[in-house]
Amino acid sequence: MSEKFFKVPVERLLNKLIVGEHHGIKFNNSQWAMIEGLDDHRFWVHISARRTGKSLAASILAFSKLLEPRQQVMVVAPNFSLSSIIWDYTTDIIKNLQIEVDRFNQKDKVVQLVNGSTFRLLSANNRDSLIGRAANLLIVDEAAVITDDEYFTRDLRPALTTFPNSRALFISTPRGKGNYLYDYYLRGNDPEYEEWGSGLYTWKSNPLLKEKDIDEARKSSTRKLFAQEYECEWTTTEQQIYEVQEENHLTDLTEIAPKDRRFDFIAGLDVGYRDDNVFVVIATDGHEYFVMDEFVSAESTTSTLAEEIEQMISHWGIENIYIDSAAQQLKADFAYDYDIYCENAIKSVNDGIAAVQVLIEQNLIKFDIENSKHTYASISSYKWNPRTENPKPVHDWASHASDALRYAIYSHQKRSVGIYGAA
């Protein structure tokens, strides 16, 4: 396409904008590529790392289009909370530059300028609201978080037929090769899709990011999660959270005897009021962790659960039990009625997952081949939820043993560091 899509010079517009105390904005390589992509392609898939300014750039492009008379600009996201960033950026620009409006409806998320242009925010969760719309510019924010592309093919693709020079911009970080957006991204290099283009931009496209900040993000994330969020790799985090392998992690642990003085014996307890209760026993020397035993029950009474745990404590010599901090009533009942004392687990979910992931990657967790089959099967099936913007595990049968394992290991690690200092 030879005709430029943006009639208002974006570079001139950037000089007029105010961010904090600074007048003028300078786009990075990723942000400029977004403009060029839409100038040259009717459909542009923009894959960009966290903290590279993709939402800000999309907001400025939306505003630039709104300055042209009688333009329809729509932003669609998985839900209103995820799309509020672009809405806030764009409406703040309108207010700061004192652009005159005929209508500003905060509740319905609609702004109409005096030149007849309209800015509208929509949620992909509400499919009925998408039907019948027309758009000169359609922006799909956090596109990979939306489950499938039916929202586009069924509801929004017709919206782009009203105006001959319309455009669609998909912006997101990756969510694995099984995601529909990966197929859209591949269209950028497929000659059968002449109107499509795509680009991928890692954290390095933003010169304002410091290596120190990236190193901190790398340390606080799992390897796969960092690769996805900052390196824009199409890793499939919807699949396994933990990359366990039978030959490395599943073994015969009979050489570790109950009450073996070489180890501390700890346990994690995940309480399922409607789901499984899972009690996981772990031996550790402070460096390696050996999953020795487990108890799994569905809707057990407190007395039955207490009886099983008492037997485990007596058999293994368990010193610390880390329980879901939401199960305070059960914790109290155990203490008062059965002399079973538990500590509240540290429930920083993603930090705990990252800690366990590091141990698994370094082969520092082993599972007994006979007595921890359910726990091993659970962490092998533990998955990320692809429908959330921030990483969050799926809550299903596999999450209970995975949670119990994390409660024990991560809480014991943090407790040991807090008392003795880092090794």
Query: Any idea of the CA torsion for 174, 179, 184, 187, to the nearest 10 degrees?
Result: 100
| Token output for 98 | 């004192």
Whole-number Å distance between alpha carbons of 141 and 79: 10
Helix (H) or strand (E) holding 75: strand 72-77
Q: Hey, CA dihedral for 75, 79, 80, 81, is it positive or negative?
A: negative
Strand 22-23 versus strand 18-19 pairing type:
antiparallel
Whole-number Å distance between alpha carbons of 342 and 335: 8
Whole-number Å distance between alpha carbons of 314 and 217: 42
**Cβ atoms of residues 294 and 279 within 8 Å:** yes
Q: Which candidate, 390, 41, 82, 33, places its Cα nearest to that of 184? A: 41
Q: Which backbone phi and psi does 291 adopt, to 5 degrees?
A: -80, 110
Q: How many angstroms from the chain centroid is the CA of residue 394?
A: 11
142 is catalytic: yes
Helix orientation angle between 80-96 and 54-66, rounded to the nearest 10 degrees: 50
Whole-number Å distance between alpha carbons of 23 and 385: 40
**Cβ atoms of residues 382 and 309 within 8 Å:** no
Residues with Cβ < 8 Å from 161, sequence gap 6 or more? Answer: none
Tokens 């199960």, residue?
327
- Provide the residue type at 179 as one letter: N
Active-site residue (options: 142, 229, 238, 307): 142
**Residue-wise over 150-173: b if at least 16 C-beta within 10 A, else e?**
ebbeebbeebbeeeeebbbbbbbb
Length of the chain: 423
Task: Give the active site residues.
Answer: 142
